[in-house]
Amino acid sequence: MTRNKRFSVWPIFTRHYRGMIPTGRRRLEFKTVLYLFIAPATIGAWAALGNVGFDKLEPAIAGLGVLAGAFLAGFVLLTDLRIKIRETESYRVHLGRLIGRTAASTMYLMVMSILTLMLIILGGVLTGSLPEDLLVVQHIIVGISVAALVHIVATGMTFLRRLFNVYVQLFSGDFAPELHIVDQDPTDGSAPRQRRAR
């Protein structure tokens, strides 16, 4: 691995977005772009124009640190799960790909959390002593930070959906309709009848 590629997170980004492209398509759907990019950018622009300061983003610092750790733990668990299903006789290619895409999203969200955390901290430090005529730089950085936060939340929702899909693929029987035993006459030699719960 070359020195330049060693510090590159681009493979994580490409794997994540390739996994979000529906089968048979070459690009992201418009509703996905709207939900993950246009909406966060709009909210970020609103924050920048609303003169929001870095003091409003202080609670996000602790939250981003917790999220980064949680996403790392999730990646480790998904990796362990991937190894276990590989060793089983009922290995399914579709399930393996679903876990791989979910793991890529986990790493993407962890990287985004770290980058956004660094942007908020460094932006607050570097722009804290700017003269009033350069405060627009601070507002731009705040807008970008807010947009990144909203993007992380929106992408996190899609990650949770994928994680739930992994569970459904593994334990689909947990969602099967429950069966109740219908009382029968003990003198009847037939097996008890079952009916689905409503």
Domain-located, residue 4? no
Residue of 30, 14, 4, 40 whose CA lies nearest to 111: 14
Mean pLDDT of the region 69-80: 92
Q: How far apart are CA 98 and CA 85, in angstroms?
A: 12
Residue of 150, 126, 151, 121 whose CA lies nearest to 138: 126
Number of domains in the chain: 1
Burial zone of 164 (CB within 10 Å; 0-12 exposed, 13-18 middle, 19+ buried): exposed
Does residue 3 have a pLDDT over 70?
no
Domain-located, residue 14? yes
Between 2-16, 54-68, 147-161, 173-187, the lowest mean confidence (pLDDT) is in: 173-187
Q: How far apart are CA 180 and CA 39, in angstroms?
A: 47
Domain-located, residue 147? yes
Domain-located, residue 3? no
Does residue 121 have a pLDDT over 80?
yes
Domain-located, residue 5? no
Domain-located, residue 35? yes
Mean pLDDT of the region 12-35: 90
42 versus 55: the higher-pLDDT residue is: 42
Q: How far apart are CA 184 and CA 198, in angstroms?
A: 20
Residue of 22, 159, 63, 28 whose CA lies nearest to 103: 159
Report DSSP state, residue 10: H
Q: For 176-197, what is each residue's pLDDT tens digit?
A: 776 555 555 555 555 555 555 5
Residue for token digits 């980064």?
Answer: 68
Does residue 52 have a pLDDT over 70?
yes
Please report the pLDDT score of residue 25 as a whole number.
87
- The reported pTM is 0.81
Supply the mean pLDDT for the chain. Answer: 84
Domain assignment of residue 182, given as a range: 10-196
Q: How far apart are CA 133 and CA 135, in angstroms?
A: 6
Whole-angstrom Cα Rg for the chain = 24
Domain-located, residue 168? yes
Q: Which amino acid is at 109?
A: L
Q: For 99-120, what is each residue's pLDDT tens digit?
A: 899 999 999 999 999 999 999 9
Given a contact cutoff of 8 angstroms between Cβ atoms, the answer to whether 166 and 98 are in contact is: yes
Domain-located, residue 133? yes
Q: For 76-100, what is each residue's pLDDT tens digit?
A: 999 998 888 777 655 677 788 888 9
Q: How far apart are CA 144 and CA 156, in angstroms?
A: 18
